[in-house]
């Protein structure tokens, strides 16, 4: 479903950093954990797959389309239609309601919007599945606890059944008990539509929850 082939990337502002990914792929419905220390390139791989940045060389194939052959606006459309992203800092809009934050991707992704017959019903269903009460839907994001904001970020990423979910350190602020509960809820939701998951983390304790896991050094070379 997604394949990175012969990728070479470096940041213009950091000539020392160089990321090389010879071959890495994710199958439909697969749950993969990518482990590594801060600064090792984990988040950069998410940015490459999502089309936020482009490699100097190589191909990134999503659903048969090479993202590196697209212009920025085309990559933005591919990301909106096919991907859900959970950012490390959640990136919620603080003065928008929980409901509007979750519904936001549908404004930019007509294909995802068409998968939903009743947006309010689907948002309520996802929130309930993730442990968010319907009574919170009109609350502003700024009034929510960290745990609630995390669940809103997950709901926003899942709305409209994206083909792939990219998650950047989503368990970093959770204790062991809440990590386990969070991952179980997340996996229940993505399994319904065979959504693929690539999560990056420094946390070795969660690796056995996934179909497979890799340290970033196993899929990259310098």
The pLDDT, as a whole number, for residue 176 is 82
Main-chain phi, psi angles of 36, to 5 degrees: 165, 160
Main-chain phi, psi angles of 53, to 5 degrees: -125, 160
Look up residue 55 and give its two tokens: 């490699």
The pLDDT, as a whole number, for residue 111 is 80
The pLDDT, as a whole number, for residue 189 is 86
Look up residue 180 and give its two tokens: 């386990």
Task: Tell me if residue 92 falls in helix, strand or coil.
Answer: coil
What's the CA gap between 108 and 123, in Å, rounded? 16
The pLDDT, as a whole number, for residue 113 is 83
Task: Tell me if residue 7 falls in helix, strand or coil.
Answer: strand
The structure's pTM equals: 0.91
What's the Cα-to-Cα distance from 170 to each of 61, 95, 97, 150, 200, rounded to whole Å?
25, 22, 21, 7, 8
What pLDDT tens digit does each residue of the chain (222 aa) get?
Answer: 899 999 999 988 887 889 999 999 999 999 999 999 988 899 999 999 999 999 999 999 998 999 999 999 999 999 999 999 998 878 899 999 999 999 999 888 888 888 888 888 999 999 988 888 889 999 999 998 888 888 899 999 999 989 999 999 888 777 788 888 889 888 988 998 899 999 999 999 999 999 999 999 999 986
Q: If residue 14 lies in a helix (H) or strand (E), which one and from where to where?
A: strand 14-26
Q: May I ask the CATH architecture of the domain 2-219?
A: 3-Layer(aba) Sandwich (3.40)
Inter-residue contact 30 to 197 (CB < 8 Å): yes
């Amino acid at each position: 479903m997604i394949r990175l082939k012969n990728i070479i990337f470096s940041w213009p502002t950091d000539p020392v950093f160089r990321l090389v990914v010879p071959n890495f792929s994710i199958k439909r419905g697969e749950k993969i954990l990518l482990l590594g220390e801060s600064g090792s390139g984990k988040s950069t791989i998410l940015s490459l797959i999502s089309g936020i940045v482009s490699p100097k060389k190589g191909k990134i194939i999503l659903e048969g389309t090479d993202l590196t052959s697209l212009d920025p606006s085309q990559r933005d459309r591919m990301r909106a239609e096919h991907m859900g992203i959970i950012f490390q800092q959640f990136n919620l809009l603080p003065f928008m309601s929980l409901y509007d934050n979750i519904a936001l991707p549908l404004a930019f992704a007509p294909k995802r919007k068409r998968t939903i017959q009743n947006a309010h019903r689907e948002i309520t269903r996802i929130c309930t599945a993730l442990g968010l009460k319907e009574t919170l839907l009109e609350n502003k994001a700024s009034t929510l606890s960290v745990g609630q904001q995390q669940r809103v970020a997950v709901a926003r990423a899942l709305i409209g059944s994206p083909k792939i979910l990219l998650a950047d350190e989503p368990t970093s602020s959770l204790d062991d008990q809440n990590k386990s509960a969070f991952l179980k809820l997340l996996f229940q939701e993505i399994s319904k539509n065979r959504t693929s998951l690539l999560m990056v983390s420094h946390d070795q304790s969660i690796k056995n929850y996934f179909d497979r896991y890799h340290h970033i050094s196993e899929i990259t070379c310098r």
